[in-house]
Structure 1
Amino acid sequence: MTSEPTEFENVQDQHLLDAAEGGIPAALGDLGELVRVQGIAWPAFDQEQLQISARRIAALAEGTGVFEDVRILTAPIPDTDEQGQPAVLATRAARNGKPTVMLYAHHDVQPPGDESLWATPPFEPTVRDGRLYGRGAADDKAGVMAHIASLRALHEVLGDDLELGLVLFVEGEEEFGSRSFGSFLAENADAMRSDVIVVADSGNWDSETPAVTVSLRGNAKFHLTVRTLEHASHSGMFGGAVPDAMLATIKLLATLWDETGAVAVEGLASRDAATPDYAEATLRAEAGLPEGTSPIGGGEILSRIWNKPSITVTGIDFTSVAAASNTLSPEVTVVVSARVAPGQAASEAYAALEAHLRAHAPFGAELAFSEIDLGDGFLVDTSGWAVEEARGAMRDGYGKDPVDLGIGGSIPFISDLVRQFPGAQILVTGVEDPHSRAHSPNESLHLETFRNAVRAETLLLGRINARAL
């Protein structure tokens, strides 16, 4: 190595940053190729695309030159005869007492939705105004490529001096509930056991400021069917005396919120924790909230998102507008998605929701609950050395001090990681910024954020490689 001037006391850090910078164009090219693969875990979509995606990522892992074993594996889905979607598992053993780090991301993506809402085709990567557009460009194929790019840089600089143990785990069904996740961990526990786990599936404070995610809400999602009639009837003949299912559903769902839009379900907890300053104007810009529409709830805005529960109706089975007729409907099914405050068990939250709905069912409506999906929230232990290493690497990689961030969304499988590997330190990071629009039309990756994320992760891995357990 040369001894050219560097801004770091440790010359190796500068070499790592140089290697990371040099690898960005290739990483973005590979990311574009991954975006073209329509890997969606929903059964209605072509499942061969997930196989193609897994094979490409396995080849990328092998190409880093750091792994001793690279495999594409599946695991059983509990209580079914099905196997989960293909995951890539690449491993190398630690040497000379060094720690082992697991790098997690997922290669499946959300369906594109209404393609007419996309400015460019969802699976054709397109660069515009400093952003790469495409489904999965941010969530989470950018997370995959941040890992790959960092490993390439690490191998380029350290070569045979790389003694860090490494596990690359890229699953293929996160957007579909990670149904085989627990089974996969149990079946591969020995190969995956790690001292530090980096989950690259979160976001940052903004496109310039990095964040360590320290809290995540849990989730309680279910289908609610409301039934009031044995069969459909003529709305003119019986309307005004007979309650139809839609009337009962509207009245029942309205009891879930108070007049401000805040959750009004007894038994759903809130967490008392301070949040950074966050202006309403910022909320409007990041969420697309028009000036004529007011925010909901009360208290600090970020506390509403990070520390309080929320309830959203995300789907409904009912007659379409085009097929509407003058009929009293006997039955309506809706999808209710609740976010649970960190610290409350998802099972406890679901029990409170079910009890509330049963207690408030109008007109004696029959209620049925199905497709129950629960995931616990997470609070990161920030006292360990890995969090401090991550903060320092982010500070040097982005050139800005990181923010401790709460996330209103959920990553339920983190609780599975904690159960399987209770001694591991969990770092939740990511490459998204508030304008990435993950899950939405025109999803995009801010290119400078990606560059800085790769810089930060390369530094983090290099510095952990210098540690001894």
Structure 2
Amino acid sequence: MTPDQIESAVAAAMPQTVEDLKRLAAIPSVAFPGHPEEPVLAAAAVTEELLRSTGLPRVQQVAVEGSFPAVYAEAPAPPGAPTVLLYAHYDVQPAGDPAAWRTPPFEPTLIDGRLYGRGTADDKSGVMSHVAALRAFRGRFPVGIKVIVEGQEEYAGERLEAFVERNPELLRADAIVVADTGNPRVGDPAVTTSLRGMAAFTVEVRTLREPVHSGSAGGAAPDALAALMRMLTALHDDNGDIRVPGLPRGSFLGQGPSEEEFRKTAGVLDGASLVGSGSLADRLWSSYAITVTGLDVPTVAQAINAVQPAARARVTVRVPPAGDPKTTVNAVVEFLRQVTPWGVQVGFGDFTVGSGFQADSGGAARAALNRAMERAFGRPPRDVGAGGSIPLVNTLLKQFPAAEILLFGAEDEDAGCHAPNERVDLEELRKVATAEALFLQELGSA
């Protein structure tokens, strides 16, 4: 196919691509504990159906131990052509507070060229960018194709890592496209060359057998919530830099966002200062970050005049690409033990870790992607980092050291991933799908 034919095919199919994305995003496929399994399995079934529609001769669900099924597909390589592995995930983050959404989180809503809803960007746009790119070839692919779409990346993606290690030949490829990142801004093409890793755990503090009246016991009885708050606030100094020993600041050589751009994207309120030291690129892409992502305590609406006997928090640590998540989480846990006040009982559990990633300088696949993205977006891509982690990437790097791993997608920085009012820009999705299809053709021709 010529580049003009590829661009026309992707553009002509966009109405169907949007309808398919709406159908997939309407499924609340939250693979976290405590959420129903049926929607996750339904999303796997729809993903399988969508991949079949591309003309891939082999499409099936494959079991992943301790997790939800992955959807696997493949087509053999033409003689002399390389094989490309395409990755995405069909599970999503929980919606959180429905009141924080301007539209219902699982009723995809189109507003001014953008589709709003949980998962429309992260990462069902990744599923659809693969589907749209593959459909353009009508079953006659210029390279060998392998596809793996997993079902529990958001909560426990490391379970797919073990699957890859046990089935290396199933996923072996010359180039790997990971469609779970995006551009800094809509229309600003970029390839993610650096990912921070991730570690998370739950900390629980216990002080009393049961709640006691704050009037009769307050002032002497140890408050579990107060103890936990002291521990968590000790993690950072007054400037917002991490106080845990052994977690130094890093540096990122590429260009990061300006403070004005970041404040707008992150929604920082007027008068609120940014935290931490070093450049924004250093802080966002190459340094450690610790965030308290949840607390189990009585809500304000359910508050009673009592000293709390127990409190729990979920703590997430972002780890620089070269850092070790396991060593990092051990350092944070040990620090919290050291700052635990009043001799209270403290426990840690529900650990999750995922490694970071640093790309090399790139070879034939990156050169082909540069040409494809320049045609699709009108300018060449630049290298950027990402603060999030994709657990599978480092495992793929270890299993297939000769393969080039390319991270790009339709999740721009303002897409609201993991936040209320998540959305994908549909023109951005078209350009990304076009770039992917052009990349496959370029690599096959090379």
**TM-score normalised by the chain length of structure 2:** 0.95
Q: Using the alignment, how far apart are the partners of 2:379 and 2:312 within structure 1?
A: 48
Aligned 8 A contact 1:214 1:382 in 2: no
Aligned twin of 2:108: 125
Query: For residues 61-102 of structure 1, what are the alpha-carbon distances to aligned partners after superposition, in whole Å with 9 as ceiling and x for unaligned?
Result: 12211x23111111212xxxxxx2122100122231211100
Aligned twin of 1:93: 76
Counterpart residue type for residue 76 of structure 2: A
Runs of 5+ unmatched residues, structure 2: none
Give how far 1:325 is off: 2.4
Asked if 1:72 is matched to 2:55, the reply is no
Give how far 1:144 is off: 0.7
Query: For residues 384-403 of structure 1, what are the alpha-carbon distances to aligned partners after superposition, in whole Å with 9 as ceiling and x for unaligned?
Result: 22222222211111112212
Aligned twin of 1:164: 143
Asked if 1:377 is matched to 2:366, the reply is no
Over 3 Å counting, the alpha-carbon distance change for 1:34 and 1:261 in structure 2 is: same
Q: Using the alignment, how far apart are the partners of 1:330 and 1:114 within structure 2?
A: 26
Asked if 1:309 is matched to 2:288, the reply is yes
Q: Secondary structure at the match of 2:136?
A: helix
Q: Using the alignment, how far apart are the partners of 1:137 and 1:231 within structure 2?
A: 44
Deviates more, 1:200-209 or 1:270-279: 270-279
Over 3 Å counting, the alpha-carbon distance change for 1:306 and 1:42 in structure 2 is: same
Deviates more, 1:359-368 or 1:448-457: 359-368
Aligned twin of 1:32: 22
Aligned twin of 2:32: 42
Q: Using the alignment, how far apart are the partners of 1:124 and 1:235 within structure 2?
A: 44
Query: For residues 363-397 of structure 1, what are the alpha-carbon distances to aligned partners after superposition, in whole Å with 9 as ceiling and x for unaligned?
Result: 22232111111111111112322222222211111
Q: Secondary structure at the match of 1:145?
A: helix
Counterpart residue type for residue 252 of structure 2: A
Aligned twin of 2:333: 354
**TM-score normalised by the chain length of structure 1:** 0.91
How large is the RMSD of aligned CA atoms in angstroms?
1.8
Aligned 8 A contact 1:202 1:430 in 2: yes
Q: Using the alignment, how far apart are the partners of 1:459 and 1:52 within structure 2?
A: 31
Aligned twin of 2:10: 20
Counterpart residue type for residue 367 of structure 2: E
Paired residue for 1:240, among 219, 226, 229?
A: 219
Deviates more, 1:45-54 or 1:301-310: 45-54
Asked if 1:406 is matched to 2:395, the reply is no
Q: Using the alignment, how far apart are the partners of 1:68 and 1:448 within structure 2?
A: 29
Q: Using the alignment, how far apart are the partners of 1:283 and 1:47 within structure 2?
A: 37
Counterpart residue type for residue 15 of structure 2: P
Deviates more, 1:181-190 or 1:447-456: 181-190
Over 3 Å counting, the alpha-carbon distance change for 1:145 and 1:277 in structure 2 is: closer
Q: Using the alignment, how far apart are the partners of 1:407 and 1:439 within structure 2?
A: 14
Counterpart residue type for residue 57 of structure 2: E
Aligned 8 A contact 1:214 1:405 in 2: yes
Deviates more, 1:195-204 or 1:330-339: 330-339
Runs of 5+ unmatched residues, structure 1: 2-11, 78-83
Give how far 1:212 is off: 0.4
Q: Using the alignment, how far apart are the partners of 2:198 and 2:368 within structure 1?
A: 30
Q: Secondary structure at the match of 1:441?
A: coil
Give how far 1:179 is off: 4.9
Aligned twin of 1:5: none
Counterpart residue type for residue 416 of structure 2: R
Q: Secondary structure at the match of 2:373?
A: helix
Q: Using the alignment, how far apart are the partners of 2:103 and 2:362 within structure 1?
A: 44
Aligned twin of 1:81: none
Q: Secondary structure at the match of 1:261?
A: coil
Q: Using the alignment, how far apart are the partners of 2:45 and 2:313 within structure 1?
A: 37
Query: For residues 18-66 of structure 1, what are the alpha-carbon distances to aligned partners after superposition, in whole Å with 9 as ceiling and x for unaligned?
Result: 222222222112111212222221343332222222222222212211x
Aligned 8 A contact 1:209 1:401 in 2: no
Counterpart residue type for residue 293 of structure 2: T
Over 3 Å counting, the alpha-carbon distance change for 1:154 and 1:257 in structure 2 is: same
Counterpart residue type for residue 83 of structure 2: T
Asked if 1:426 is matched to 2:405, the reply is yes
Deviates more, 1:333-342 or 1:120-129: 120-129
Aligned twin of 1:322: 301
Q: Using the alignment, how far apart are the partners of 1:277 and 1:354 within structure 2?
A: 31
Q: Identity over aligned residues, as a percent?
A: 40
Over 3 Å counting, the alpha-carbon distance change for 1:345 and 1:277 in structure 2 is: closer
Aligned twin of 1:150: 133
Q: Using the alignment, how far apart are the partners of 1:300 and 1:123 within structure 2?
A: 37
Aligned 8 A contact 2:118 2:423 in 1: yes
Aligned 8 A contact 2:84 2:177 in 1: yes
Paired residue for 1:228, among 193, 203, 207?
A: 207
Aligned twin of 2:320: 341
Aligned 8 A contact 1:103 1:169 in 2: yes
